[in-house]
Amino acid sequence: MKRVASLLLLASLGFCAEQIDPATGMKIAEGWETVRDNCTVCHSAKMYTMTTGTRQDWITAIKWMQETQGLWEFDPETEKTILDYLSKEYAPKNTSRRRPLLTSDLLPPK
């Protein structure tokens, strides 16, 4: 009985822990393969796994690549999958409504 319980615990831990794809470093979550297939063609996945952004930030980045870097247009469903993945898995860390503290270069001179 005890053994079953610890097996269940291990299984649920495995399920909760963040899974990372070793080849790309991407978080394995819903839609990640679609993002991998479309977003690792011209540059490594690091271009977006090292950064975070709101849905609007991701839309802006994708529009910019479409307008200037030869990124193809997506059908609405693919675009939604990509944006859902990025805006959920690589969301800004500070989700508080309070703005982050100002850095010294933004403060008035002493």
* Binding footprint of ligand HEC on the chain (CB under 6 A): 38-39, 41-43, 47-48, 51, 61-62, 65, 69-71, 82, 86
Question: What sign does the dihedral 36-38-44-47 (CA atoms) show?
Answer: negative
**C-beta separation of 92 from 53 below 8 A:** yes
- Least spacing, CB of residue 25 vs ligand HEC, in Å: 13
Q: Phi/psi at 20 (nearest 5 deg)? A: -115, 130
The residue (of 69 and 104) whose beta carbon lies closer to ligand HEC is 69
- Least spacing, CB of residue 42 vs ligand HEC, in Å: 3
